[in-house]
């Protein structure tokens, strides 16, 4: 039998179909962390899929195919955004073309709404399924964004339980999937272990200062935070003031501000990272409104929340009715009441901040009232069904295309 006859006699073997593509588009370091956890859960739900898009080192470590690095989206401040806007728009156009050609079964935008929502809108309009993980703060301001987000994402994966009802009012499919931070903090914090890890004595009074992470907010808040710390240092003996610095640039900025303050050098300790451990160890915290306030609540650390934005911005936001909530901090919004003190704008001064923190240090009942409310907030942020936030998000994203139940 010749070669051609032998080949003709062999059974035909069909080529395996290509693995379905699930695209993930993450922005900034926080998106890489969220994306890595989500990727792990998605892969368990759809082990047949390949995963590609924009990600960082944590996602790449899990075998993610990064078409672009997350650093290409990480710009901060109006001036920097304007400088990089042509490049970012070009990147988004090129990415959209690549995704339209690849036809992923699902594209998940992870936070970064300024970049992701426009991309999601184009993909959805072309008949591709999209999801958006981490809702913009529609509960705080510009609720009308909820309706517009429905034109971008087939499903919104929400970190907070009050968000899906807002989307429902606008006919948008949104699911509460739990907050990842609720999984990272123990339900009963180990304060003694946290103090030992940070080298803090069991009897030392510890005040955590967290003036934010963005250069602009640190510039606006840190001088008043340090002024408050100076007052408190003079008033309370055995008070250890600790500031966590997320990176070297922030550490240098803090050191420069300390050099210009009246606080003695020995009164303040700046540590590299370890904010979660510090909040678990501290007797009280003075912090910028934002995620740090939520972290303090999960660490069951009594707090005073402060913030200040540019006066013109504040006047515009108030005057145009863009701000929906009368409360600013996440613990108060989640509790639906004034649980922790909020000192905003003109109230954010050294003496007023010091007075509010001193009340927590002087009055054990005031600190205990806050602590007693925090476990309920923690429980409310866990995903339904006793699963992790990442597993719940993966299930909600994959459900329409077949995957995790």
CATH number where 274 lies: 3.40.50.2000
**255 shares a domain with 243:** yes
Whole-number pLDDT of residue 146: 86
Residue 279: name the closest of 248, 255, 305, 253 by CA.
305
**251 shares a domain with 159:** no
Whole-number pLDDT of residue 138: 82
**233 shares a domain with 121:** no
CB 178 within 8 A of CB 155: no
Pairing of strands 155-158, 174-176: parallel
Q: What is the C-alpha separation between 129 and 404, in angstroms, rounded?
A: 17
Whole-number pLDDT of residue 222: 92
**204 shares a domain with 115:** no
Q: What is the C-alpha separation between 397 and 404, in angstroms, rounded?
A: 9
Q: Which two tokens stand for residue 57?
A: 């080192």
**373 shares a domain with 253:** yes
**154 shares a domain with 32:** yes
Report the half-sphere exposure of 42 (CA within 13 A, side-chain side): 28
Enter the DSSP assignment of 267.
G
Residue 11 lies in a domain: no
**3-state SS of the chain: helix, strand, coil percent to 5?**
50, 15, 30
Residue 284: name the closest of 376, 348, 375, 355 by CA.
355
| E strand or H helix at 116 | helix 113-125
Residue 47 lies in a domain: yes
How many CB atoms within 10 Å of residue 306? Answer: 31
**358 shares a domain with 308:** yes
Q: How much is the pTM?
A: 0.86
CB 208 within 8 A of CB 237: no
Q: Which two tokens stand for residue 287?
A: 């912090």
Residue 156 lies in a domain: yes
Within 189-247, residue ranges assigned H as helices are 191-198, 215-235
Residue ranges making up the domain that contains 99: 21-178+383-401
CB 61 within 8 A of CB 85: no
Q: What is the C-alpha separation between 50 and 67, in angstroms, rounded?
A: 13
Contacts of 21 (CB under 8 A, 6+ apart): 49, 50, 51, 52, 102, 103, 104, 105
Q: What is the C-alpha separation between 21 and 101, in angstroms, rounded?
A: 11
Residue 120 lies in a domain: yes
Residue 123 lies in a domain: yes
**228 shares a domain with 113:** no
Q: What is the C-alpha separation between 369 and 357, in angstroms, rounded?
A: 14
Q: Considering its fold, how many domains does the chain have in total?
A: 2
Q: Is 401 exposed, middle or buried (0-12, 13-18, 19+ CB in 10 A)?
A: middle
Q: What is the C-alpha separation between 224 and 350, in angstroms, rounded?
A: 5
Residue 122 lies in a domain: yes
Q: What is the C-alpha separation between 123 and 39, in angstroms, rounded?
A: 21
Q: What is the C-alpha separation between 243 and 208, in angstroms, rounded?
A: 6
Residue 117 lies in a domain: yes
Residue 111 lies in a domain: yes
Whole-number pLDDT of residue 103: 96
**388 shares a domain with 263:** no
**344 shares a domain with 276:** yes
**231 shares a domain with 350:** yes
Per-residue pLDDT of the chain (405 residues; tens, 9 = 90+): 455 555 555 555 555 567 899 999 998 778 899 999 999 999 999 999 999 999 999 999 999 999 999 888 765 544 555 676 788 888 899 999 999 999 999 999 999 888 999 999 999 999 999 999 999 888 766 777 888 899 999 999 999 999 999 999 999 999 999 999 999 999 999 999 999 999 999 889 999 999 987 777 888 889 999 999 999 999 998 899 999 998 888 899 999 999 888 888 888 999 998 999 999 999 999 999 889 999 999 999 999 999 877 656 655 555 555 555 677 889 999 999 999 999 987 888 999 999 999 999 999 999 999 999 999 999 999 999 999 999 999 999 998 776 554
**234 shares a domain with 148:** no
């Amino acid at each position: 039998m010749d070669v051609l006859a032998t080949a003709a006699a062999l059974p035909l073997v069909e080529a395996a179909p290509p693995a379905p593509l699930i695209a993930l588009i993450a922005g900034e370091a926080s998106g890489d962390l969220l994306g890595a956890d989500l990727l792990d859960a998605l892969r368990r739900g759809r082990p047949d899929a390949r995963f590609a898009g924009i990600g960082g080192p944590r996602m790449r470590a899990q075998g993610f195919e990064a078409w672009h690095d997350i650093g290409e989206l990480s710009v901060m401040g109006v001036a920097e955004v304007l400088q990089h806007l042509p490049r970012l728009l070009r990147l988004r156009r090129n990415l959209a073309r690549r995704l339209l050609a690849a036809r992923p079964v699902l594209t998940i935008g992870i936070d970064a709404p300024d970049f992701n929502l426009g991309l999601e809108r184009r993909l959805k309009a072309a008949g591709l399924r999209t999801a958006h993980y981490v809702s913009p703060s529609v509960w705080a301001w510009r609720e009308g964004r909820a309706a517009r987000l429905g034109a971008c994402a087939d499903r919104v994966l929400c970190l907070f339980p009050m968000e899906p009802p807002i989307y429902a009012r606008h006919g948008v499919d949104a699911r509460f999937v739990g907050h990842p931070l609720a999984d990272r903090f123990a339900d009963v914090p180990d304060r003694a272990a946290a103090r030992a890890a940070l080298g803090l004595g069991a009897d030392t009074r510890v005040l955590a200062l967290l003036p934010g992470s963005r250069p602009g907010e640190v510039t606006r808040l840190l001088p008043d935070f340090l002024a408050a710390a100076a007052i408190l240092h003079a008033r309370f003996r055995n008070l250890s003031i600790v500031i966590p610095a997320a990176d070297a640039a922030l550490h240098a900025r803090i050191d420069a501000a300390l050099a210009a303050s009246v606080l003695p050098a020995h009164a303040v300790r700046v540590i590299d990272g370890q904010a979660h451990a510090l909040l678990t160890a501290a007797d009280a915290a003075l912090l910028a409104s934002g995620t740090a306030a939520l972290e303090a609540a999960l660490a069951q650390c009594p707090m005073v929340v402060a913030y200040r934005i540019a006066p013109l911005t504040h006047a515009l936001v108030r005057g145009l009715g863009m701000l929906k909530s009368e409360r600013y901090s996440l613990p108060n919004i989640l509790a639906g009441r004034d649980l922790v003190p909020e000192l905003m704008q003109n109230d954010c001064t050294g003496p007023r901040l010091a007075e509010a923190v001193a009340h927590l240090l002087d009055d054990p009942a005031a600190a205990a009232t806050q602590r007693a409310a925090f476990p309920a907030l923690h429980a409310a942020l866990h995903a339904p069904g006793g699963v992790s936030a990442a597993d719940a998000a993966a299930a909600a994203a994959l459900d329409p295309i077949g995957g995790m139940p």
